[in-house]
Structure 1
Amino acid sequence: MIRVPAAPAGRLSDAWRYCVGTGRLDLALRRDYQDSLALVRREIGFRYIRGHGLLSDGMGVHRPYTWRGARHVRHSFTYVDQVVDALLALGVRPFLELGFMPGELASGERTVFWWRGNVTPPRDWKEWAELVRATMAHLVDRYGLDEVRTWPVEVWNEPDLPDFWQDADERAYHRLYEVTAHAVKEVDAALQVGGPALSPAADGWLERFAEFAERRDVPVDFVSRHAYSSGPAQHVPFGTHQTLAPASALLEQFAAPRERLRGTRLAGLPVHITEFNSSYRPDNPVHDTAFHAAYLAPVLVHGADHADSFSYWTFSDVFEETGVPTALFHGGFGLLTHRQVKKPTYHLYAFLARMGRELLARGEDHLVTRHADGRVTVLAWAPVDASGATPGPGRHRLRLSVPAGPGEVFVRRSTVDEEHGNARTAWQRMGSPRSPRPHQLDVLREAAEPARDHRRLPAADGRVDLDLTLSRHGIALVELEPVEDQAPPWWDERRLLGRDPE
């Protein structure tokens, strides 16, 4: 039996919901995208959203033209305004990523993704700086300086990988960062700019970025990198399978920037993990499973010990880096499938959103908090074997002695595991339809809801004993509230059928 202290150990950080990732930004023009974002905003409460492609051709910002024999550039913000307006209307702010290169400004033709984001340096650095200044100035003019000062501005995405930055040219990225950061600051010195948005594979880049920033006196307001725990891709048609490192590997990656920047000018800056997940592939079925929720539970619970934010990649399967998905469940990054079917990892976030702010206890399989009104909440999960060498235990038992008021306590439990809150299981049983019919979608949404039960438990000496058993790959939210019994004194269940209890 684990005895949970009555006195709080501090405040529970909500760094886990500071930001969430998304597909390219022009997808925000779609109804299913906005419906999905509205749902996660309402039930989880993400505050920022980060995605690629703000300056790519799909957003139509950079519009060169020729007039009277001379080349000019018009900066058009038609789609930018629609996207940002939609985000703000839903209560989510943009975490801006400046990229990729507009085709008419690019120095080469190398692209990434199905939607062909250009990853080459600008052929005209002055024109790139003007594009950055015009974009930031427009945002300030439209949304106000005080508002835009709260939006982090990240320079590019994973420049240490040749897929995302031509030849992974470090010197060229340093120049891009310097030109971009100064252009942002020319609009307003208090705008937040940072990077270098490195992949987990970056070796020595962060230390050299710090040295470059100090040597060139380049503004850096925050540091960013990404974290994934999967091994090499094993491809099958329309899918990928990978080995996974233990979830602790993600926490180690979260911690790496602060460790590597000790003694540098960048030490002490905010650290944002602007992408994280298990697999870096948008077609890995592990993302859709109950295993995934249990696997990531300790990461979300302990991640704030190492970083100021860590952004789940991504909130929705409305995402097209490898093309349009060919099935409802296809291993997409999202917490939601298309058509807003919730995945088990969605519930992990939704459970955390219902936790209190007073931290009472944390462990390798539980988190206990208290709300301001005295309600106690417990998040529990069954540890998993990420190696796949074993299926993991069929049952996981957790016994807690939890502080409570006098008398009895109302206990509500919500459970997700292989059989509950797991639409993928129902989808497979109905034959894995690639395009479920409307009635099948209704069944899947119903199957996606957690199992819920409730009971009353006695409190003794201001404590309640909880004996929780979780199934394999299970997570559970348990909410405890003192019972204030207002039933009238004459009520007797035995009278329901008119019998005299005497």
Structure 2
Amino acid sequence: MSRLPAAWRACVGTGRMELALRRDYQDSLALVQREIGFRHIRGHGLFSDGMGIHRPFTHLGQEHVRHSFTYLDQVVDLYLERGIRPFLELGFMPSGLASGDQTVFWWKGNITPPRSWSAWADLVRDTVTHLVDRYGLAEVRQWPIEVWNEPNLTQFWRDADADAYHRLYEISATTVKDVDAELQVGGPAISPGSDKWLETFAEFVVARDVPIDFVSRHAYTSGPAEHVPFGTHQTLAPASRLLEQFALPRRQLAGTPLDGLPVHITEFNSSYRPDNPIHDTAFHAAYLAPVVAAGGDHADSFSYWTFSDMFEEEGIPTALFHGGFGLLTHRQIKKPTFHLYAFLARMGEEVLSRGPHHLMTTDVTGRVTILAWAPVDHTDLRNSPSSHSLRLSLPMSGQSAFEVRSSVDEERGNAWTAWREMGRPASPTSRQLDWLREAAEPVRAHRRRPVVNGHVTVDLTLARHEVTLLEITPVCDETPSWWDDSRLLGTP
């Protein structure tokens, strides 16, 4: 047996950091941590104006800068209270330090280099030093620090200038290491589509002997966006392309001085758009299931983008279900992909078997868990099979076993379907929200199975786009010898 890598829960994405100050965000994070339990959380906007860290001012005719951590402390305190650590991203540029006015997103993250590199180094140093002073060196050494976001795209870094990014990375990484040599720093957090960027970046850090503790990139499988009012439609590549992207950094760095560095996929999803309704569907859970089950074979972490629909890059959403990235909608409605992660969180650590449509594990108690998913047609949802059958054999002690099955598909555990049937209310009432929360829960079924020659045979039939979890435990029958269920009504 082999151990199931924990890469699937090592990190999760979030909207910009200041959103953590809102109640809906806090409630959503509490739910995600209670039922899934991610280890780290990564999002944009650490240095954007909304966090209020970089505060230039004039006093007695002299220009000064104050670095204020009022909001940062509140955000990090919340994370640690929820049992999750920051995966820090150094960006975007504070407007008071920016060399230009180009921005990205509705909330205007500045994408230009600093007009003073020494002032940028001061900002990084003061922020990291403050975190070490407040939370302790041993704690902060467990927080990876990533330099910028997708600098290979002009939307995120002015002119996608590699030389300017290399300078930003060198100054940032050196500054972090000046605070403490064992702090983790890495990059380049590139978007898919510019794969030579990593090789060029690796050549630069090796040639200049720049500190680097990990490499990072992102992974998506969607094609060009076809915009409709407040929404987007896109084609999708097969989900296996995500695993190929996960594996690419190790392949590119093989035989180089960076060979063997940890690889973090700091964003992944199907679509890169936060308004693509595919994210809300049962198809999406079944589509991503083989990726989440096997991603740890290719990367040290792969961060689902994102845990919640509290996310405003394209503006404030106009409806409860709007195609957001989140595992949860606003108001904590669970999507089918939430259950994919929650199911995996209930599995054992030792892998018994894997297949194209299942993962089987066990734990020290003898409990066996099976995560199974239906095959999907990534070109047309209507062509996905209406059913799919699996037969699995699993080891089990005793004479019989108890099975609990939890399932989501197009009809079950699917609040998106219920919302459509309601008429897609943009602002559901309290009663409708209660109905949606109930509709979002997986359907549970249970049964007793015989153990034959130390094994249980399980025949599974999966519905269209179903993801299901089976938990099977040995039965220790403690029924008294005098008990007779047939006499519940007192009949002799």
TM-score by length of 1: 0.97
Q: Counterpart in 2 of 1:460?
A: 452
Matched, 1:64 2:56: yes
Identical counterparts, % of pairs: 71
Q: Secondary structure at the match of 1:55?
A: coil
Q: Counterpart in 2 of 1:415?
A: 407
Q: Counterpart in 1 of 2:197?
A: 205
Equivalent residue runs for 1:149-168 within 5 Å: 149-168=141-160
Q: Secondary structure at the match of 1:184?
A: helix
Question: d(CA) in 1 for partners of 2:200 and 2:55?
Answer: 35
5+ long unaligned stretches in structure 2: none
Q: Counterpart in 1 of 2:369?
A: 377
**Letter paired with 1:446:** E
Q: Secondary structure at the match of 2:38?
A: coil
Question: d(CA) in 1 for partners of 2:436 and 2:45?
Answer: 32
Q: Counterpart in 1 of 2:280?
A: 288
Q: Secondary structure at the match of 2:74?
A: helix
Q: Secondary structure at the match of 1:226?
A: strand
Q: Is the 8 A contact 2:25 2:310 kept in 1?
A: yes
**Letter paired with 1:102:** P
**Letter paired with 1:223:** V
Q: Residue 475 of structure 2 is aligned with which of 464, 479, 483?
A: 483
Matched, 1:130 2:122: yes
The CA deviation at 1:203 is: 3.3
Matched, 1:169 2:161: yes
Q: Secondary structure at the match of 1:442?
A: helix
Question: d(CA) in 2 for partners of 1:439 and 1:390?
Answer: 32
**Letter paired with 2:443:** A
Q: Is the 8 A contact 1:55 1:101 kept in 2?
A: yes
**Letter paired with 1:386:** H
Q: Counterpart in 2 of 1:401?
A: 393
Q: Residue 221 of structure 2 is aligned with which of 225, 229, 245?
A: 229
Q: Counterpart in 2 of 1:5?
A: none
Matched, 1:22 2:14: yes
Q: Residue 324 of structure 2 is aligned with which of 297, 311, 332?
A: 332
Question: d(CA) in 1 for partners of 2:254 and 2:353?
Answer: 30
Equivalent residue runs for 1:2-17 within 5 Å: 8=1, 10-17=2-9
Q: Secondary structure at the match of 1:246?
A: coil
For residues 282-315 of structure 1, the C-alpha deviation after alignment (integer angstroms, 9 at most, x for no partner) is 0000000000000000001111111000000000
Q: Is the 8 A contact 1:36 1:340 kept in 2?
A: yes
Question: d(CA) in 1 for partners of 2:351 and 2:59?
Answer: 64
Q: Residue 90 of structure 2 is aligned with which of 98, 115, 120?
A: 98
5+ long unaligned stretches in structure 1: 1-7
Q: Secondary structure at the match of 1:331?
A: coil
Q: Is the 8 A contact 1:406 1:461 kept in 2?
A: no
Equivalent residue runs for 1:419-430 within 5 Å: 419-430=411-422
Question: d(CA) in 2 for partners of 1:464 and 1:264?
Answer: 48
Q: Secondary structure at the match of 1:245?
A: coil
Question: d(CA) in 1 for partners of 2:6 and 2:438?
Answer: 29
Question: d(CA) in 2 for partners of 1:326 and 1:186?
Answer: 46
TM-score by length of 2: 0.99
What is the RMSD of the two structures over their aligned residues, measured on CA atoms?
0.7
The CA deviation at 1:406 is: 2.1
Q: Is the 8 A contact 1:406 1:460 kept in 2?
A: no
Q: Residue 356 of structure 2 is aligned with which of 353, 364, 380?
A: 364
Q: Is the 8 A contact 2:283 2:381 kept in 1?
A: no
The CA deviation at 1:269 is: 0.2
Going from structure 1 to structure 2, the CA distance change for 1:245 and 1:359 (only over 3 Å counts) comes to same
Q: Is the 8 A contact 2:398 2:475 kept in 1?
A: no
- The count of corresponding residues between Structure 1 and Structure 2 is 492
**Letter paired with 1:494:** S
